[in-house]
Amino acid sequence: MADPKFLNLPGIVYDQPDVYETPDVPEVETSDYYEEDPENSAIECLQLSTKDSFNKFRGKYLKGDVDFSDKISKRSRTGYTARSGLWEINGEGERETPLQRYRRLQCEMHELLDEMSAIQANAETTKEEKKSYEVISGVVTSASKILQSLRLEEVLGKDTVSKSTEQELKKLVQDVEGFKKADSVMPPISDVQLAQENRIAELEHKIYTLEKAVGAKPEKLSRLIGSLGVNNLLAGVQQLSAKAALLQPGQLDLLETRLLGLATKMNAVAEKSSPTAQESDRDAKVMELYKIAKRTEPIVQVLPEMVARMQSLEALHKYSSNFSKAIAELEATQTMILTGLSQNKVLLQGIQETSAVQFDNLQKEVKKLEDRINSFKLPK
C-alpha cells in the first residue's frame, strides 16, 4: 500500500508498477556471439599481423628508469624506450661511427660491472682488493651514468639510427654470402708444427709443476739461493741432496733430541739475559746521550773558538748594557723635563692671563678714582 502522503501528487503514474526488474535468464542461455558491422567505407579496418609484430620487437627490451611525472625540466620526459640488445662491434682497424662507439662503451661498462660484482662476491678476495674494486665500480657507474645522459640516439635522430642499422645488416648479409661462396679450407697442420706445439705444452706443464712446488713468488727462490750460496735451482737441490745423504738415518733421532735440549738451554739463557726495567731505562738514556753526542760532533771542533769569542765579547756586552741603561735614564730625564716645561708653560700662560685681567681692573679703578678726585676739586 502506498504512503498516503504521496497521494494525489502531480506527475505520478498510478497504473504502472513501482519496481522494474529484468527477466532472470540463465547464464548458459546467454549468447557471446558478436555480429560484425557491415563493411562501411567510412570505417578503416586495420589488418594486424602477429608474426610481423613479433619479428619487429624480437630481441628488444624495455628500459624502466624513466619518469612519467609532470615536472617541468629542460629534458623531455618520454615513456619506455625499446632498444635492441644485439650490437655488432667493428673489427680491428675499422672506423667506428659515434653510435657504434657509444654502444660498444655501454657493453664494455656492463661487462666490467658484472666482473667487479663477481670478484667482490668471491670469498677468496681480500678486504683491500674489495675496497679497490668498490672504488673502480663507483667510477665505472658514474661514467655509465654520464654516457646514458648523452642520449646519442635521440640527438642523432631515428633516421640516422635506422640507416646505420640497415647498413650493418646489409654488410652482415654480404659477409655471410661471401663465406658461403668461398670454398676456403684450412690448410692441414704439419707434423713439425704439431711437435712444436706439443713441446710448448710440455714446457708449460713443467713450469706449472715447478711453480707449484717452489712457489710463484720470487722471494722464496731468492731466499733459498742466498742461503745456499748457489746461482740456480738445480745446484741448490743437488747441494741439499748431498747434505741430506751425509746424515745417518740411525742417528737422526739422537740429533733431534740434542737439538731440542740445545734449544731449551738457549731459551733459558735468553730469558736470563733479558734486560730489566732499570736496565732498559739506562740503555734508553745511553742511546739518547749517544745520539746527542753524534749530533753535536761537528760542533765540537768549533766550540773552543766560540767560547773564546764569547769571553772576549762579554766586556763589550756589559759596556753596551750600561750604555743602554744610561740612554734609558737620559730619555726618562728628558721626558720628565719636557713634562715640567709643558706644565710651567701652562702655568705661565695662566698667570699672564690673570695679571692682564687684574691690570685692566686696576687701571679701571685708578681711572674711577681720578674721576672722583677731579669731581671733588674746589672751584678757584
Give the chain's count of helices (H) and strands (E): 12, 2
Q: What is the pLDDT of residues 331-366, one digit of tens each?
A: 999 999 999 999 999 999 999 999 999 999 999 999
The whole-number pLDDT of residue 211 equals 74
The mean pLDDT of 16-31, rounded to a whole number, is 64
More confident residue, 289 or 273: 289
The whole-number pLDDT of residue 188 equals 58
Q: What is the pLDDT of residues 94-103, one digit of tens each?
A: 777 777 777 7
Please state, as a whole number, how many other Cβ atoms lie within 10 Å of the Cβ of residue 97. Answer: 14
The whole-number pLDDT of residue 28 equals 59
Highest mean pLDDT pick, 28-37, 220-229, 305-314: 305-314
The mean pLDDT of 287-306, rounded to a whole number, is 84
Distance CA 88, CA 99 (A): 11
- The secondary element (H helix, E strand) that includes residue 61 is strand 60-62
Residue 293 clears pLDDT 80, i.e. is over it: yes
Place of cell 742466498: 226
Q: What is the pLDDT of residues 182-219, one digit of tens each?
A: 554 455 566 777 778 878 888 888 877 777 777 666 67
**CB-side exposure of 134: number of CA atoms within 13 Å?**
8
Q: In the structure, what pLDDT confidence band is assigned to residue 35 with cuts at 50, 70 and 90?
A: low
Residue 379 clears pLDDT 60, i.e. is over it: no
Mean of all residue pLDDT scores within the chain: 75
Kindly state the cell numbers that stand for 295. 749530533
The mean pLDDT of 323-331, rounded to a whole number, is 93
Contact of 82 with 116, CB cutoff 8 Å? no
The whole-number pLDDT of residue 57 equals 80
Burial string for 102-118 (b: 16+ CB within 10 Å, else e) reads: bbeebeebeeeeeebee
- In 3D space, the residue among 62, 75, 82, 94 whose CA is nearest the CA of residue 167 turns out to be 94
Instruction: Give the CA dihedral 94, 99, 100, 105, nearest 10 degrees.
Output: 120
Sign of the four-CA dihedral 273, 279, 281, 287: negative
The whole-number pLDDT of residue 198 equals 78
Length of the chain measured in residues: 380
Q: How far apart are the first and last CA of the chain?
A: 162
The whole-number pLDDT of residue 201 equals 82
More confident residue, 368 or 15: 368
Distance CA 98, CA 95 (A): 10
More confident residue, 299 or 179: 299
Contact of 107 with 87, CB cutoff 8 Å? yes
User: Where are the domains positioned within the chain?
Assistant: 63-159, 232-272, 296-338
